[in-house]
Amino acid sequence: MAFKTNNEFVTIGLKHFKIWTLNGRSLTSAKGIFGSIPIESLICLTYAFDNNILFTGDSKGNMILWNGRNATKSMKAHNGSCYVLSHKNNMLYSGGQDGIIRIFNNKLEMKDSIDITKMTCFNPGIRSIDFCSNNEILVGLKGGDVKYGFIYKIKFHF
């Protein structure tokens, strides 16, 4: 679930996408329209870039860009599932089953990547990404590892 405003949020799941709107005591929903984009199980979502653009990640490793309830673009982000999407400082971070964090700018150009597979002996599937106040990255892995405080400074002005 991701909130765009206090009155609008999105839910996702097994071939499921709905935008919900709260108006007083009334809650309404609208199904997502995938158009020509293949419908897969949606695993993660985030609003990014000034909370204006919704992205979802699916079980095939794709990142999908949404305009309202319409899927407008799909791009391959990972080998295996895309487990987590996060954003900070006008950058979008995706983490996947392949153990790679990919970093995109607001034009969806991949600016960098971080390979976590060499930092763990457990399953490197990335399940969570968060940021410390000094821009260090906190990463949770499928195998139970938590990688905290490894120094990876992003140059936010490309």
* Predicted TM-score of the model (pTM): 0.87
136 dihedral zone (left: phi>0; alpha: psi -120 to 50; beta): beta
Question: Which two structure tokens, joined as six digits, stand for 46?
Answer: 């985030």
Tally of domains in the chain: 1
Tell me what pLDDT residue 15 has.
83
Strands (E), 14-155: 16-23, 26-31, 42-48, 53-58, 62-67, 70-76, 82-88, 91-96, 100-104, 110-115, 126-131, 137-141, 146-150
CATH at 28: 2.130.10.10
Asked if residue 134 belongs to a domain, the reply is no
Q: Which tens digits make up the pLDDT trace of 17-71?
A: 999 999 999 999 999 999 999 999 999 999 999 888 999 999 999 999 999 999 9
In a domain, 48, yes or no: yes
| 65-124 confidence digits (pLDDT tens) | 999 999 999 999 999 999 999 999 899 999 999 999 999 999 999 999 988 888 877 778
pLDDT at 149 (0 to 100)? 60
Q: What is the pLDDT of residue 137?
A: 83
Does 144 fall in a domain?
no
How is residue 32 written in tokens?
């997502």
